[in-house]
Structure 1
């Protein structure tokens, strides 16, 4: 169904479409010793503890003009954190036509949207390789909305909230709503690719792959940083403190780890 961006769809009742965005980010680091690994995990737990994650999700909630109904948050032992926010429709506003356009969403200084009967969650997973000296931090963020607004409009802010080497993005529209004539509508906005909701300056830094199933309103995009600077992956020192053989070995391990995550399969 092709949607005319100038014409708002008239519905029989409430928009019952459920739109879900899953944003998975990965940060990779080389931690040679047990002490380095523990320091990295401690750093990650401090940077992305439950309080900071709550602030990020509450900012998303404010951006889309919603009311917070309930917050559940937890820091785990030995590491990791989770936050879930249940939200409801905020003050009734006229949803702008551009809110459904394929374009990057606003940053926190632009509050233009609302949603209803929805939730936002984040879970973090710091972990390490037992032998290769690789530590990985993963954060899974899910934003589900019911109504006219697509959670893709929160993607721009989420990308800017995390330092990420690899991103995997999934977007799906479920259910149906009805127009005034009773005809089922299984999607209420045009979408060609999740990439259209990522700013150009961000896309220029990543290699991107799409896997889309248009007939089922399922969209998937993978992103991996193009440029590799070993100094960005060493914790507590720089590559000028390493010999050439170490630089080559560590670089191979890091790039293999990133490729395996990006392509979703073991290479070795």
Structure 2
């Protein structure tokens, strides 16, 4: 995709636009026994506990050039964690970055930013199917900023921080600011797709769907991993340890879970053909 360049707009006072990125990811796993399921949930809780999530969000604040004011973090019983970070204005300067370009952000680095009344949050939701053996880990991250920079600059880092089978990304610009003449501005940078902020090698790995409402400055992108290797979805064993028929049935369940999350609807069994999974096994 071509990089979109835009000149800085002379503003009257502070930039009052609120820009929010909502990054939602899913990791799918097949757990053969209740013990496997419990072990998977414990593994996820360890990998993405409140301390690790705080480290991820702290790096995001560095990428967008913010100062941390307050951190609230919490692990939950039986599973899950939450972190909220309040940040404020922190002016920095690095001429090597154009904060208005539609291109992937650093991984990680510091960029020009003037932020105030901003926050970052993350919540995790490990869960499982009651009897089908499917376990799903979901993480929801919101990065909301006021000022010149778009929080989309942190998207590249967030994608690399999670091993996502499905990603749903929303970006919205709210409110208005004024230019030097008093004319209202409802967006201060050009954007036609969230995909512009995702590196090409990542875009090639996913099937992607865009739904954008340009009049309302609302942008939505859904991503589903293209490649399928059953070994990546088994916890504690490999497909070589399974009977071929069992492997095909597990692959069917995993693919069904991914399609239902991606399309946002329950998928009828009739849509699935076990022969589709031969190549991946």
In the alignment, the residues of structure 2 paired with residue 184 and residue 225 of structure 1 have an alpha-carbon distance, to the nearest angstrom, of 40
Please give the residue correspondences for 1:155-174 in structure 2 after superposition, counting only pairs within 5 Å.
Answer: 155-174=155-174
- Segment of structure 1 superposing worse, 95-104 or 196-205: 95-104
Counterpart residue number, 2:223: 223
Counterpart residue number, 2:255: 255
Counterpart residue number, 1:144: 144
In the alignment, the residues of structure 1 paired with residue 20 and residue 6 of structure 2 have an alpha-carbon distance, to the nearest angstrom, of 24
- Segment of structure 1 superposing worse, 111-120 or 17-26: 111-120
Q: CA separation of 1:188/1:61 partners in 2, compared to 1, >3 Å: closer, same or farther?
A: same
Please give the residue correspondences for 1:185-224 in structure 2 after superposition, counting only pairs within 5 Å.
Answer: 185-224=185-224
Partner SS state of residue 207, structure 2: strand
Confirm or deny: 8 A CA contact 2:6 2:190 kept in the other structure: no
Deviation at 1:6, TM superposition (A): 5.1
In the alignment, the residues of structure 1 paired with residue 244 and residue 6 of structure 2 have an alpha-carbon distance, to the nearest angstrom, of 60
In the alignment, the residues of structure 1 paired with residue 227 and residue 94 of structure 2 have an alpha-carbon distance, to the nearest angstrom, of 42
Deviation at 1:93, TM superposition (A): 3.8
Deviation at 1:63, TM superposition (A): 1.6
TM-score, normalised by the number of residues in structure 2: 0.91
Matched, 1:14 2:14: yes
1:186-242 deviations in whole A, cap 9, x for unaligned?
A: 000000100000000101100000000011100000000001000000000000110
Partner SS state of residue 98, structure 2: helix
Deviation at 1:116, TM superposition (A): 2.1
Matched, 1:112 2:111: yes
Deviation at 1:95, TM superposition (A): 7.9
Counterpart residue number, 2:57: 57
In the alignment, the residues of structure 2 paired with residue 124 and residue 7 of structure 1 have an alpha-carbon distance, to the nearest angstrom, of 38
Partner SS state of residue 78, structure 1: coil
Counterpart residue number, 1:77: 77
Confirm or deny: 8 A CA contact 1:222 1:262 kept in the other structure: yes
Query: Structure 1: 5+ residue runs without aligned partners?
Result: none
In the alignment, the residues of structure 1 paired with residue 156 and residue 38 of structure 2 have an alpha-carbon distance, to the nearest angstrom, of 31
Deviation at 1:131, TM superposition (A): 1.4
1:1-50 deviations in whole A, cap 9, x for unaligned?
A: xxx94531001111000000000000000011100000000000000000
In the alignment, the residues of structure 2 paired with residue 92 and residue 52 of structure 1 have an alpha-carbon distance, to the nearest angstrom, of 26
In the alignment, the residues of structure 2 paired with residue 113 and residue 23 of structure 1 have an alpha-carbon distance, to the nearest angstrom, of 22
In the alignment, the residues of structure 1 paired with residue 226 and residue 195 of structure 2 have an alpha-carbon distance, to the nearest angstrom, of 16
TM-score, normalised by the number of residues in structure 1: 0.96
1:159-178 deviations in whole A, cap 9, x for unaligned?
A: 00001100000000000000
Query: Structure 2: 5+ residue runs without aligned partners?
Result: 269-281
Deviation at 1:113, TM superposition (A): 2.9
Confirm or deny: 8 A CA contact 2:65 2:92 kept in the other structure: no
Q: CA separation of 1:163/1:94 partners in 2, compared to 1, >3 Å: closer, same or farther?
A: closer
Partner SS state of residue 39, structure 1: helix
In the alignment, the residues of structure 1 paired with residue 97 and residue 212 of structure 2 have an alpha-carbon distance, to the nearest angstrom, of 25
Partner SS state of residue 63, structure 1: helix
